[in-house]
Structures are given as C-alpha cells and as structure tokens.
Amino acid sequence: MTEKVVTRFAPSPTGFMHAGSVRTALYAWLWAKKNNGTFILRIEDTDKEREVSGSALHIMKSLQWLGLNWDEGPYFQSERLPIYKKWGEKLIKTGHAYPDGNALRFKIPEKKRYHWQDLVYGDLSAGPEALDDFILIKSDGYPTYNFAHIVDDIEMSVTHVMRGEEFISSTPKFLSLYEALHITPPHFATLPVILGRNGKKKLSKRDGAKDLLEYHEEGYLPDAFINFLALLGWNPGDEREIFTREELVRVFELEKIQKSGARMSEDKLNWINKEHLKKLPKEEIKKNILENLPKDMQNPKLVPVIFERISKWGDVRVLAGAGELDFFFKSPVFPKEKLLYKGMRAEQIITNLKTAIRVLQEISESNFTTEKVKEALMTLADKLPSRGELLHPVRMALSGLDQSPDPFTIAEILGKNETIERLQKAI
C-alpha cells in the first residue's frame, strides 16, 4: 500500500509573495496533484512582531491567481495554540522538554551528527553544532517555527515537505524532535533558492523581487507564469519548454529538480507568455486586446497589428499609452521633409503620391483591403527604381512615423476616405 501524498505550503504572513516563495508552493502543488494527493495551505503566523496585516490575504490571492488551489486550509497556527501546548506537555512528561521562565525548551536528547536523505539533494548531513536546547513555546505563548511546523506536519499527515535550502542546517533540530516523539519524519525535498537580479543573493525585495500580483496586473497568463516558474530549477528531461498546466502535472518529477540556485529572466518569461498567448482562441485574444485599449481606441481592426507587438496583455496599455497607436485615430502631424526618401526631390514625391491616390480611387470602398491596396501600390512601386520611392512617402503620409506597420495594413484600418485624405494633405 502506498501512502497518500500530502504536501503543504506554509508561508509566514510577513510580506508579499514573490517568485521565490511561490515556486515552493508550485512544486508542492504539482507533486500533490501528480499523485492525486492533498495540498494544504497553512499560514505560519506565530510571530506577531513581524506579521504584516493583509499579508495572509495577499498570499491567498496570489495562489488563487495562479490556480494553485489548496484542498485543505488555510490553517492559521495562531488559532491552534492548544494543540502545540498539548504536544509540549507530552514532551515534558517524557522528559524531553522543560520550562525556562515562561518559555518551554526542548531537552536535546543527544548532540550528534545527523544524516538523512533528501529527495532533491540526496545525502545530507549537519553536525551537532546545530543542536542546543531550543525554544518550543515562546514566553508569549506562541510556538516557534521549529516546533509548530513539526506538530502541524504530524497532525496534518504531511508526507512530503518542500522547503527552501535555508532549512538544511536546522534539520537536526527537526530530526531530534521527531526522534523524541518516536515519529518517522516525512520526506524532505529541499529546493534551491531563486536568485535576484545580481545573480548572487537570494531573491528579495531590494534585489528586484516583484510582488506576484504585479505580474497579474501586467497581464501575464497564470498558466504561462507557472510554466516559466516550473522550468526555473526543474526540467522535464527532454527539450520541451511549453507546457499546459495538465502536462506539467503529468511530467513533473522531483528527481529532475536542480541543486543550484537559478535566476529570474523576464525575457524568458515574456517569451513563454507569448507562446501561450499564441495558443489562445482568436476571440479571446481579441477580447483581451480590446479590453486593454482606451475606450476611444477599441477598433477590432487593430487587433492583429497589436498582437504581433506584445508578449503580455499589459503591453497593449503600454503601446497605447506611448502614443504609438495615435495615428490610427487622428491625422499625423510631421515635418514635410520626412516624406523625402533617399535624396528624392519634392516634385517626384508629389507625383508619386498623386499616382497613388489615382490607383487607390479605383478600389471600391468595400474592397479597400490590405491585399487590394498592396496589389495596387506594389504594381506601381515595382515600376520605380526603388519601391521606397512610393512606399515611404505613402507610409509617412498615413502614419507620420519613422517606424510603423506597413502602409497597406494602415490603409485598410483607416479606410478609403481617410487614406486618400491623408495622402492629399501630404501633397
């Protein structure tokens, strides 16, 4: 009989969630899902000094955004004080704990070196120097992390403990507690840290760590974010990189988790997000792009032009905010020299623009599509020494920008009347 897998994510509510903390949650979640197990959320709020109000809620919101839903909890340790007290008394009774003032201390049975197996790191050990009669319950009545998390993991039948590598050196404390209680410890899966921008220190606020919900606001897809995070310190063993949530659950393996710390790369995150965007139904893409556009700019014809220029929904707002789409809505103003192309003379430009107007007039309003306009203008442009002699002034007349989408696309979006009007104005 195999045991039912139970994992947990046990943050302390002392700030916002960032990529480092959520990756621990993700791996615990993936492992639970993969094994049809249970994923528990437990808030470790035993330090009232450091607690930040609203933090627990923020953590839950972050997990919900990513769809890392918990099957049990949230448990709050601050609401479980009697339980820790009960286990404390049990230890006193067996001679493994003793009061120290208003606090309760653990009586270390034996200062020795511990060796244990880690699912990621393999053989690990830590020496007796890590052991002393540590505090189990503080004088304010709250348990310490060392004690509370072990009691809870026992009470909640946790089988796999995913945790950061900072806990390796205090593991002898945990193991000696388990020993005193005659309880077999759970499996440990220690995860390497995620490094900050400088690539050395652990990811932290001052080191560029972002509040997870900022990624939400910037319009990253939850599945893409999870995909990215999973790949940060883990690999599927082949060269695939884009995974749906379900695929991730299927292929995830603890054995393939990396031992060394990894660094966030927003470039890669953006790429993965774009790959996920490309798989979305057309309607959904359209809806999201339009929703992120200012009310007076919500023209469905803009969708393809915008889509190939973004990697996340928030980029739509950036694009619009930077004024790069303004020319679609109002006639551009630009110095007339901009119409010139590689030493051409003004008369030639005027002639070319006039010819352009003439051929465009021949296209009916209902037929004024990118393809038709392209066909008409290209035929014309091909007769010139360089296509740019026609295409550049036309594009400039329509957009007023040095860099913009091609003139055919713009023409269709503007429509026949506006297109011709702008060409005339340029002349």
Partner RNA sequence: GGCCCCAUCGUCUAACGGUUAGGACAUCGCCUUCUCAAGGCGGUAAUCAGAGUUCGAUUCUCUGUGGGGUCACCA
Query: In terms of CB distance, is 3 or 253 closer to RNA?
Result: 253
Candidate residues 231, 248, 277, 373; the one interacting with RNA per rule CB under 7 A = 231
379 makes contact with RNA (CB under 7 A)? no
φ, ψ dihedrals at 110, nearest 5°: -155, 125
Half-sphere exposure of 172 (CA within 13 A, CB side): 20
User: Which of 262, 340, 357, 359 is in the footprint of RNA by CB under 7 A?
Assistant: 262
Residues 39-58 binding RNA (CB under 7 A) are 44, 46-47, 50
Q: What is the three-class DSSP state of 202?
A: strand
Angle, helices 55-66 vs 19-34, to 10°: value is: 50
Within 349-378, the residues that bind RNA by CB under 7 A are none
Q: Is 391 in the site for RNA (CB under 7 A)?
A: yes
Q: Which of residues 94-133 bind RNA (CB under 7 A)?
A: 100-103, 121-127, 129-130
Interaction with RNA in 393-422: which residues (CB under 7 A)? 395, 401-408
Q: Which whole-number Å values give the CA distances from 269 to 224, 264, 275, 309, in the listed order?
A: 8, 8, 10, 16
Of 31-39, 165-173, 246-254, 312-320, the window that binds RNA (rule: CB under 7 A) is 165-173
Count interface residues toward RNA (CB under 7 A). Answer: 79
Strands 38-43 and 103-106, sheet pairing:
unpaired
As annotated, the binding site for ATP includes: 205
CA distance 118 to 115: 10
Which residue, 182 or 255, is less far from RNA as judged by CB?
255
Phi, psi of 174 (to 5 degrees): -65, -45
3-state helix, strand, coil in the chain (%, to 5): 50, 15, 35
| Token digits of residue 403 | 């860099």
User: What single string gives the DSSP state of each residue in 99-148?
Assistant: EETTEEEE--S----EEEEETTTEEEEE-GGG-S--EEE-TTSPBPHHHH
Nearer to RNA, 4 or 54 (CB): 54
Question: How far apart are alpha carbons 141 and 46 in whole angstroms?
Answer: 9
> Residue 296 CB, nearest distance to RNA (Å)?
23
Instruction: Give the CA count within 13 Å in the CB-facing half-sphere of 337.
Output: 1
Asked if 140 is part of the footprint of RNA (rule: CB under 7 A), the reply reads yes
> Which of 6, 10, 248, 289 contacts RNA by CB under 7 A?
10
Closest distance to RNA from the beta carbon of 274 (Å): 7
Q: Which of 283, 308, 362, 365 binds RNA (CB under 7 A)?
A: 308
| Residue 76 binds RNA (CB under 7 A) | no
* 53, 82, 182, 239: residue in contact with RNA (rule CB under 7 A): 239
Contact positions with RNA (CB under 7 A) in 177-196 = 193, 195
Are 7 and 37 spatial neighbours (Cβ–Cβ below 8 Å)?
yes
Q: Does 210 bind RNA (CB under 7 A)?
A: no
The residue within the footprint of RNA, chosen from 201, 282, 301, 358 (CB under 7 A), is 201
Min separation Cβ 45 and RNA, Å? 8
Angle CA 403–406–408, to nearest 5? 150
Stretch that binds RNA, among 178-186, 211-219, 233-241, 286-294 (CB under 7 A): 233-241
Shortest Å distance, C-beta 287 to RNA? 20
d(CA 70, CA 216): 19
Considering only the stretches 26-34, 265-273, 291-299, 344-352, report the one whose residues sit in contact with RNA under the rule CB under 7 A.
265-273
